[in-house]
Structure formats: C-alpha cells, structure tokens
Structure 1
C-alpha cells in the first residue's frame, strides 16, 4: 500500500504531474503491505487519507471503503485545490462508513465477507481513519482491541484479494498525540504500537518540520511537515519496468500554502521518483 501513497504524493506534486503523467496511472501491487500513518495532527492525517481515497478511485478506478468515526460535513479544507484536478465522478467509487464505535467497526468490516458476494466489483482499498479512537480508553483494553481489529482488517483484505483480480490494500491512521507520546519520545516500546506494528508493517510518519522557523499551528498556512516511509519491504516496481521506486526511506515535504491548500515535494527527486 505504500505504492498507493506514493501515487498520491506524485499525483499531487506539480513538478512530477507535469512531466510523468504516464507513470502515475498504474501500480504493480508488489508493495501492497498494510500501512499505518502516524504523526501529530489528526486533521492532516485525515486529509491525507481522504486524498488517498480520491486519488485511488480517480487514477486507478478502484472501489474504496473509508471507515471513520465522524461524518464529513464537507470536503477537508486543505484539499480544495488538490481535488480540483481530479475527476469528481471518482467520489462515486468511495463508500464512507461511519462506524461510531469499536463494535460498529468490527461489525461493518466483518459484514464485508457477505456483501462481497453481492457486489459486482469488490473494494480494493480499505481505509480506517483514527484507528486509535476505536481501541477504547482503558490501557489494558487497548491491546486486545488492537489485535482484534487489526487481525480482522488484514483477514478481510486477504479475503477480498482472493475474490478479485486486484489486491486489496489496508491503510489506517493512528494518533500518537492522543496516546500521549510522539514517535521521537518512544524510549521504550509502546505495547499497543508493538501490536499494530505486527499487522501494519509499513509506517508513513508525519513529523512537523521544526527547522523551518517558528512552527505554525498544525494545518495553518506556513506549516511544514516531513513525510517518510519506514518498515518492511524494499521497492515498488514501476509498470513495465524491472527497476522499482525506492519508497521506503523516502522523504517528502508537505507545506501548507498561504491559501490553505497542501503542497507536496520530494526532497530527493532521484531516490524517491525514478
């Protein structure tokens, strides 16, 4: 699934979109490993997930299921400019599931095993926004919930893959701030994160850039973030090429422009784009 996130970043990077349109329309599925987006700002993670859903539906034509505890009242403000160049009909390929509790999410995901038999085209991307909200408040309960939810998501994706020619990917976001720890503060393994790491072997980490001057409030104009990939796997192969994109270890920059929209740029064109 790092392959889909890489596609999202490329599609919304002007310097790549203008010169590499052909490379943005297909992916190989060789890095369809489950992914977890972690970082400080839940709003930016949600916007990135929303952009991922729309890009996957628009560029790849796949069905997307987007699970979220809070209904969207409107399109995320940070995406107004980014979504303008995408096909609005792609939203029809996205189904938003407003699972308000852990029990509802378990039931909604479990029901996919039955509903896929009735669907003409099964979903090829499962997105869970703010997985942390579904784990409960009690620390002792969170570990068990993490195992149950993660295992069900991965098993369901495997089931959907077996019933389709398209591999089904899973992407979730996890709010480190709500857990009271940031990635750079984890001096000892967090038990819940250790469990999630076993299921979501690729991390996409969003760190606020604290070297670009006085930090802005998250999501405000002038705010800058670093996006980098880590975890299992090595490459995402280009369609029709034996040479893969080096996704893991790649570093991108996300900047909130003066008009409030998101701008992506690779810090190393050669290592992250070729």
Structure 2
C-alpha cells in the first residue's frame, strides 16, 4: 500500500494496536472511497503529516475553499508549524477542464522549482466528473467513463513524471505519490462503473465504512469507522518464498467527542 497512508495511520495509532506483516513499501496510487467529510479529513491528515513528518511538498486540488483545518486535525497535530503548512499548495479548479490544465501544468512547473511535489491529492473526484454547479444526484458529464479515464491517466502520468524528476535530482523526497477521494452514487460501490474505470489507475482502494452498531457505543467515542485497504498494491509478506500475497488490511478510526482521531490496526 502507499507508504503515505501507512505513515498517517501509524503516526496516530492506538497503543493497543499490534504490528502485522503487511508490506508498506512502494508508491501506489490510492483511491479513498466513502463519506465526504471523513475522506477529506484523511486527505488533509495525509497532506499535513507528509509535509510535517516527511518534509515533502504537497499539491492539494479541491473545489471547496479550505479556510481552516478541521478540529480533529488540529487535535491530532497541535504543534503544526507554519513552515510545514507552506509546503502544502492548495489549488481550486472549478471544473474538470480546469483540473486537467492545472495537473498538466505540474510538468512545466517541475522544471522551474528546485523541488517538485512528492504528493498529489485530489479531493472529491466525483465533483469534477459532474457538470458545473451540479448537485450530488445530478449525474456525470456525457462520456463520464472516458472523462474518468482521462483525468486518472493524466494524474498517474504526472506522478510518474514527477518521480523521474525527483530521482534525477537526487532530492531524497521521491517518489511522487497520488491520492484521490471519490464518493459513489450507488448504494453498493461494487456496482459503480466509474469505480471500475478508476481501479485501473489506482492500485490501492481505501474504503471508509461507519460503524453504527454496538462497537461504536461500547467504545465510548463519538464515531467509529472501519477502513479497508485493498487492491493489487496491498500485500502480505510471505517469508518462505519472499513473495507477497494480496490481502485486505483493516484499520479502525476512533473519533472522540473532542475531535481527537486515533487509528487501530485490526
């Protein structure tokens, strides 16, 4: 799986969690699927952790203006320095066409800056695939499958290009990782044909599922979320032959009443 999310989850891991033999090497494209607010919190936490803990530059594409960090994020990273925040560049394309232009411009800007970004994040990809000003149930652009493939291919190509630039310059902050979030309109995400297209370009899927049952109440916290990491980028080490086997890795996210986020490896 992508080492960025591994770093985020382990940085805020419950002390009762036990390490398991899951590989965390590689720079895989990751698609976060599920609730809009929690997925944005995970993306912002990834951006802030990458900038502050790894010291890398981040580009964060979103349609919604970010005026301040969520309370949960402020609680998790209370000593975040202004210098770390400066490593995150927020860009606000309004349409799919603007997103494509801004992503493509990263190729040119990479030659104009000493250190290009090592993490590219796209918040709420489904909003870009709908028409301007469209509501959540208004449907996608005509040719939405080709649009999804086009933007995903460009994002993947850009991450690969930035990886080559980082390696050539020996910056030590590569490779470039790609994370995007997407909320399916379908009740069952497996029936969403757009997800089938996105899965061709994103090797890891991070699925968010809220626990509304006994466990959430018993934990004495405000919310409990199950986080499932799956896809061809998630492997379990197999010691006898050095090969890996595909697995689904499960984490739990506990959000306390005061907004503190804590992760637990299941």
Cα displacement (A) at 1:101: 1.1
Q: Which runs of 5+ in 1 are unaligned?
A: 21-27, 216-220, 238-242, 268-274
Query: Taking structure 1 as reference, are residues 99 and 16 closer, same or farther at Cα in structure 2, changes over 3 Å only?
Result: farther
| 1:270 alignment partner in structure 2 | none
| 2:159 alignment partner in structure 1 | 157
TM-score by length of 1: 0.80
1:50-88 alpha-carbon deviations (Å, 9 max, x no partner): 000010111111110000111101111221210214444
CA distance in 2, matches of 1:214, 1:113: 45
1:113-148 alpha-carbon deviations (Å, 9 max, x no partner): 111100110101000000010011336432121011
Q: 1:75 aligned to 59, 69, 73, which one?
A: 69
Given that residues 256 and 262 in structure 1 are in contact (C-alpha distance below 8 angstroms), is that contact kept between their aligned partners in structure 2? Answer: yes
Q: Which runs of 5+ in 2 are unaligned?
A: 131-138, 168-173
Q: 2:195 aligned to 173, 193, 196, which one?
A: 193
CA distance in 2, matches of 1:70, 1:108: 16
CA distance in 2, matches of 1:246, 1:84: 38
| 1:230 alignment partner in structure 2 | 230
| 1:206 alignment partner in structure 2 | 208
Q: 1:57 aligned to 30, 51, 54, which one?
A: 51
Q: 2:178 aligned to 165, 170, 188, which one?
A: 170
RMSD: 2.8
Given that residues 234 and 249 in structure 2 are in contact (C-alpha distance below 8 angstroms), is that contact kept between their aligned partners in structure 1? Answer: no
CA distance in 2, matches of 1:71, 1:248: 36
CA distance in 1, matches of 2:141, 2:95: 17
Cα displacement (A) at 1:224: 0.9
TM-score by length of 2: 0.82
